[in-house]
A = this chain, B = another copy of it.
Amino acid sequence: MYVIAVYDVGQKRVGKMLKLCRRYLNWIQNSVFEGEISEVRLMELKHEALEIMDEEDDSLIIFQTRQEKWLEKEIVGKEKQNLDNFL
């Protein structure tokens, strides 16, 4: 399946979440990731995210679609994705 993941976590946990999400998905912008992922890997990602997150304050939103072609992406303004290699 194809997913978009967006996290909103406290400043202290941003680094860990960024690292975690980049292990599973492609970084697009700030706290936004996308990519093809299996159900099992997605479960792992959520499980690991919950270990990092403060469930009272933090959240992770996951949009899933069965086919990437059902989702069209457009970036208005600066495209940040190319920076991914430097982080």
The listed residue (B32, B60, B63) touching A72 by CB distance below 8 A is B63
Known: A6-B29, A8-B29, A30-B31. A71 touches B65 (CB 8 A): yes
Count of chain A residues near B, Cβ 8 A: 37
The listed residue (B54, B65, B80) touching A65 by CB distance below 8 A is B65
- Whether A59 pairs with B75 at a CB distance below 8 angstroms is yes
- Whether A73 pairs with B77 at a CB distance below 8 angstroms is no
- Whether A50 pairs with B77 at a CB distance below 8 angstroms is yes
A76 within 8 A of partner (CB):
yes
Question: For residue A56, which residues in chain B have a CB less than 8 angstroms away from its CB?
Answer: 78
- Whether B8 pairs with A61 at a CB distance below 8 angstroms is no
